[in-house]
């Protein structure tokens, strides 16, 4: 009942805003579209009904009342990232059904189960090591979410109980969407931002220069991240020694690796291998996912569709497709640009600011604006051009502002499950809810803001970037 009261109050407030407060610069249709999206986000946070049902209802409202073409609302299901998420979930379900996930989890526990915090650091460090070589945090998220889910299962955590599995999953989710600003090749969105910077300033940046610029602010963040998550969502294990002994006992009970496990392991290694070596063969990870998906079909793969159908989070996939489609609608209508213009470009509050105040607000505003965006690419195309334009108008260094804005967009897309495809992959495990993710994201976002501000004013002058 409390959730419904909050949701109804939020919807009524937005209706009042829509009627009585003008959104200068937006057409009536764009204004209504933005209001619907903001109400939808509140419903996702409060969750009076499942997120995918909220998404379906919001899509219907957009089509009927905002006169939005259905093709635009459903465009998320045509996005390659959505199909890659489908493949990742099917692969994860296969790993779970065949028992390979449990085997890997028990092997992992037998070696690293010295305590809860060590588990968080071990899995997070794997993600950090893969980041510079795997230019897709969706791909990394697919791999690490499967490993993390298997660890939770091996320890004995059941989805929905939130006895520690939410801590393990969230630590890895946050890592997966934080180390993206440390390395130029950690996500394709960085390349998108870099292209905008080059087009507008004529200046480029090398991989090594980016590494020097991003490693200093990124290292303390990824080192503190597992500790902060553990303190926010503490959990215990009855005895690390007992856990390791149990893991060894269960491995013995499972016996030799089965044929199904071997096939699944081959598919997993091929998937990871193609994703990691994308910089060599040039085949996008989304394309290799389609190719490798054929190895999962009955007669060739390890399981039948019936075996894994119940293990795939279809509601989460519906939610992702709807959220991506809605984000595309908002972006086309100018809603995102209007928000950024209002907060930054046209704000009288910022007109008299110097470079320090402007940069702090820009960085923090960009990081926290992830809350309303579904995907870094759309956000990159909105934030980076506006930031550079303002810098040029105010006489600030447009190149440095472009780079720091790109990093702020690349890191911190972890407030809500719909903010990115890998978020939905983690969320699909059912081991935490939206409130857990949002509450844990706030202090980590503040940490990223502090790190980027210090890098811009202390570290970058030292390395000659500005």
**CA pseudo-torsion sign 175, 179, 181, 184:** negative
Torsion sign across C-alpha atoms 140, 141, 144, 150: negative
Please enumerate in sequence order all residues whose Cβ is within 8 A of that of 298, keeping only pairs 6 or more positions apart, or say none. 304, 305
Render each residue's pLDDT in the chain as its tens digit; 466 residues.
Answer: 666 776 677 677 777 777 767 777 788 888 888 888 888 877 876 778 887 888 898 889 889 888 888 888 888 788 766 776 677 677 767 777 777 767 776 777 677 767 788 888 877 887 787 777 665 677 778 778 877 887 787 777 888 888 888 999 999 999 999 999 998 878 778 877 887 788 788 888 878 788 889 988 999 999 999 999 999 999 876 555 656 676 788 788 888 988 888 888 887 777 767 766 766 777 776 677 677 766 766 555 666 677 767 667 788 778 778 877 887 787 788 876 787 677 666 666 666 678 888 899 999 999 998 988 777 777 787 788 888 878 887 889 999 999 999 999 999 899 988 888 888 889 988 899 999 999 999 999 999 999 999 999 999 999 888 7
Main-chain phi, psi angles of 330, to 5 degrees: -60, -40
Q: What is the predicted pLDDT for the residue at 239?
A: 59
- Give the residue among 267, 275, 256 at the shortest CA–CA distance from 308: 267
Q: What is the pLDDT of residue 151?
A: 79
Instruction: Tell me what pLDDT residue 403 has.
Output: 95
pLDDT score of 300: 58
SS3 content of the chain, % helix, strand, coil (to 5): 80, 0, 20
Q: Which of 94, 176, 196 is nearest to 130 (CA)?
A: 176
As a whole number of angstroms, the distance between CA 246 and CA 458 comes to 49
Residue of 423, 406, 405 whose CA lies nearest to 414: 423
Q: How much is the pLDDT for 442?
A: 95
At 107 the pLDDT is 79
d(CA 396, CA 388) in angstroms, rounded, equals 9
Give the closest residue to 362 by CA, choosing from 375, 349, 372: 349
pLDDT at 5: 76
**Per-residue b or e along 336-356, where b marks 16 or more CB atoms closer than 10 Å to that residue's CB:** bbbbbbebbeeeeebeeeebe
What was the pLDDT predicted at 81? 63
End-to-end Cα spacing for the chain? 54
Residue 32, CB-side half-sphere exposure with 13 Å CA sphere: 14
The per-residue pLDDT for 407 is: 95
């Amino acid at each position: 009942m409390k959730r419904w009261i909050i949701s109804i109050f939020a919807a009524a407030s937005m209706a009042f805003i829509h009627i009585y407060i003008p959104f200068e610069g937006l057409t009536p249709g764009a204004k209504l579209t933005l209001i619907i999206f903001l109400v939808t986000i509140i419903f996702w946070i409060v969750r009076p009904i499942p997120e995918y049902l909220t998404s379906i209802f919001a899509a219907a409202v957009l089509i009927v009342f905002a006169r939005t073409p259905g093709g635009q609302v459903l465009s998320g299901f045509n996005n390659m990232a959505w199909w890659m998420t489908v493949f990742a979930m099917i692969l994860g379900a296969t790993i779970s059904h065949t028992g390979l996930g449990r085997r890997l989890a028990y092997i992992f526990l037998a070696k690293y189960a010295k305590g809860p915090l060590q588990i968080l650091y071990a899995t997070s460090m794997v993600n950090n090591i893969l980041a510079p070589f795997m230019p897709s945090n969706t791909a990394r998220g697919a791999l690490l979410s499967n490993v993390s889910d298997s660890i939770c299962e091996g320890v004995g955590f059941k989805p929905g109980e939130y006895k520690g599995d939410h801590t393990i999953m969230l630590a890895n989710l946050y890592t997966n969407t934080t180390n993206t600003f440390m390395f130029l090749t950690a996500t394709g969105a960085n390349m998108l931002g870099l292209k905008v910077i080059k087009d507008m300033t004529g200046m480029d940046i090398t991989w090594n220069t980016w590494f020097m610029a991003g490693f200093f602010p990124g290292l303390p963040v990824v080192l503190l991240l597992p500790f902060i998550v553990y303190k926010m969502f503490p959990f215990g294990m009855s005895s690390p020694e007992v856990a390791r002994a149990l893991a060894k006992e269960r491995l013995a009970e499972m016996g030799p690796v089965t044929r199904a496990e071997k096939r699944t392991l081959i598919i997993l290694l091929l998937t990871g291998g193609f994703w990691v070596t994308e910089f060599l063969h040039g085949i996008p990870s989304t394309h290799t996912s389609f190719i490798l998906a054929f190895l999962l079909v009955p007669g060739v793969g390890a399981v039948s569709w019936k075996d894994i159908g119940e293990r795939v989070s279809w509601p989460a996939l519906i939610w992702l497709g709807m959220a991506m489609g809605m984000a595309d609608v908002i972006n086309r209508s100018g809603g995102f640009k209007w928000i950024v213009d209002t907060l930054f470009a046209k704000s009288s509050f910022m007109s008299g600011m110097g470079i320090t105040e402007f940069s702090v607000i820009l960085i923090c505003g960009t990081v926290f604006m992830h809350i309303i965006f579904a995907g870094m690419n759309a956000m990159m195309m909105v934030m980076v051009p506006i930031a550079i334009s303002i810098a040029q108008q105010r006489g600030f260094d447009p190149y440095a502002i472009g780079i720091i804005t790109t990093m702020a967009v690349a890191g911190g897309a972890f407030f809500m499950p719909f903010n990115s495809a890998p978020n939905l992959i983690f969320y699909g495990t059912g081991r935490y809810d939206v409130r857990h993710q949002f509450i844990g994201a706030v202090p980590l976002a503040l940490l990223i803001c502090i790190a980027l501000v210090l890098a811009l004013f202390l570290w970058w002058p030292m390395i000659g970037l500005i």
